[in-house]
C-alpha cells in the first residue's frame, strides 16, 4: 500500500531536464547573491581598515598642530584641514552659480535640441578623468601667468579650487536639472495664470520648490570634491607647515596629505595618513548619506504635489 505514495513522492521531484534547470537556477541565484555580498563585504573591509588604523592616531594635536619638524614625533595636519575647507569652499563658490543657472536655462528656457546638447556635453565633462582636469589647469597656469592663478610659486588655492570646480560643475548642474524637472507644470501654470512673468515665476516659484534638491545635489558634489586628489597635484601641491587662509597661496589639503604620507618612509606619517583618511571617509559617507536621504524626501514631496 505504501508503493503508490512513494511513486507520487518521486513524481513531485524534478528529474532529468527539469532538475538541471532548477540546479542551474539555484546556482545563478547563489552567484548573484554572493556577488552582492562581496561588494558589501569589500566596503565593510575598507571602512573597517580605515577605522581600526586611523582611530589610534586621532588626537587633538592632529587637528590643531602643523607637521612636526623632521626627526621629531607628534605634530598634526591642521594646515591640511584648513586647506581642504578653503579649497572646497572656493570651488563651491565657483561651481554653484554656473551649475544652477545652466540647469535653469536647460529646464526653463532652452529649446529642446539645445537642452539635449547641453546635457550631453555636461555628461562628457563629467566623464573627463580628474587627472586631465588637473593637467588642464596646470597648462592654463603656465601659459597665461594670470596674477590670481600664479602668484609666487605659480600654484595656488585658487588654481586648485578651479580644478575642483570643473569637477563639481556637471554634478551640481545635472542634479539641479533633475529637481527642476520634478517641479510640477501646474505650479508654473498657476503662477502664469496670476499674471506673473516668467522670470518671477522661475525665481519665486520654481527655484524655491527645488531648493532642497539643489542643496543636496551640491552636498554630494562637495563630498566628491573633498576627496579629489588628482586636480590638486599640479595646481596646489606645495604647502607650508602653517595654517594658511590666503587663496593666492598654495595650501595643504587632506587628500594630498594622505597621498604623500602613504608613500612616506616614516611609520608615524602612515598613522596620520590613516587618521586623515578616517576623517575624510567619515565626512564623505555621512554627508552623502544625509544628502541622499534628504534628496529622496524632497523628491517624494515634489512627486506627491504632482
How far is 78 from 264, CA to CA, in rounded Å?
Answer: 18
Q: How far is the CB of 74 from other proteins (least distance, A)?
A: 21
Nearer to other proteins, 65 or 224 (CB): 224
Q: How far is the CB of 288 from other proteins (least distance, A)?
A: 5
Nearer to other proteins, 158 or 230 (CB): 230
How far is 147 from 275, CA to CA, in rounded Å?
Answer: 36
Helical ranges in 183-266 per DSSP H:
185-193, 198-201, 207-226, 230-233, 254-262
How far is 186 from 191, CA to CA, in rounded Å?
Answer: 8
Cα–Cα distances in angstroms (integers) from residue 261 to residues 65, 265, 269, 304, in the given order: 16, 8, 5, 50
Q: How far is the CB of 102 from other proteins (least distance, A)?
A: 4
Phi, psi (degrees; rounded to nearest 5) at 107: -90, -20
Number of H helices, E strands in the chain: 13, 0
Q: How far is the CB of 242 from other proteins (least distance, A)?
A: 21
Q: How far is the CB of 281 from other proteins (least distance, A)?
A: 6
Nearer to other proteins, 82 or 173 (CB): 173
Nearer to other proteins, 93 or 245 (CB): 93
How far is 87 from 93, CA to CA, in rounded Å?
Answer: 10
Nearer to other proteins, 224 or 301 (CB): 224
Amino acid at each position: 500500500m505504501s508503493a503508490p505514495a512513494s511513486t507520487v513522492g518521486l513524481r513531485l521531484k524534478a528529474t532529468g531536464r527539469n532538475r538541471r534547470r532548477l540546479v542551474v537556477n539555484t546556482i545563478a541565484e547563489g552567484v548573484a547573491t554572493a556577488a552582492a555580498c562581496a561588494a558589501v563585504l569589500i566596503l565593510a573591509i575598507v571602512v573597517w581598515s580605515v577605522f581600526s588604523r586611523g582611530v589610534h592616531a586621532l588626537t587633538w594635536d592632529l587637528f590643531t598642530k602643523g607637521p612636526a619638524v623632521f626627526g621629531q614625533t607628534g605634530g598634526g595636519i591642521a594646515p591640511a584641514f584648513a586647506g581642504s575647507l578653503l579649497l572646497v569652499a572656493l570651488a563651491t563658490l565657483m561651481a554653484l552659480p554656473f551649475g544652477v543657472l545652466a540647469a535653469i536655462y536647460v529646464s526653463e528656457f532652452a529649446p529642446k535640441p539645445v537642452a539635449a546638447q547641453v546635457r550631453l556635453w555636461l555628461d562628457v565633462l563629467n566623464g573627463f578623468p580628474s587627472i586631465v582636469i588637473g593637467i588642464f589647469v596646470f597648462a592654463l597656469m603656465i601659459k597665461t601667468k594670470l596674477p590670481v592663478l600664479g602668484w609666487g610659486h605659480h600654484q595656488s588655492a585658487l588654481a586648485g579650487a578651479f580644478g575642483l570646480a570643473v569637477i563639481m560643475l556637471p554634478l551640481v548642474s545635472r542634479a539641479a536639472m533633475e529637481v527642476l524637472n520634478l517641479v510640477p507644470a501646474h505650479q508654473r501654470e498657476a503662477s502664469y495664470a496670476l499674471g506673473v512673468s516668467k522670470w518671477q515665476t522661475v525665481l519665486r516659484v520654481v527655484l524655491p520648490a527645488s531648493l532642497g534638491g539643489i542643496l543636496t545635489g551640491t552636498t554630494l558634489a562637495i563630498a566628491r570634491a573633498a576627496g579629489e586628489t588628482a586636480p590638486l597635484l599640479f595646481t596646489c601641491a606645495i604647502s607650508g607647515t602653517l595654517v594658511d587662509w590666503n587663496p593666492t597661496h598654495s595650501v595643504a589639503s587632506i587628500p594630498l596629505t594622505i597621498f604623500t604620507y602613504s608613500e612616506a618612509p616614516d611609520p608615524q606619517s602612515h598613522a596620520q595618513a590613516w587618521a586623515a583618511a578616517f576623517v575624510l571617509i567619515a565626512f564623505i559617507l555621512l554627508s552623502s548619506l544625509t544628502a541622499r536621504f534628504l534628496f529622496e524626501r524632497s523628491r517624494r514631496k515634489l512627486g506627491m504635489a504632482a
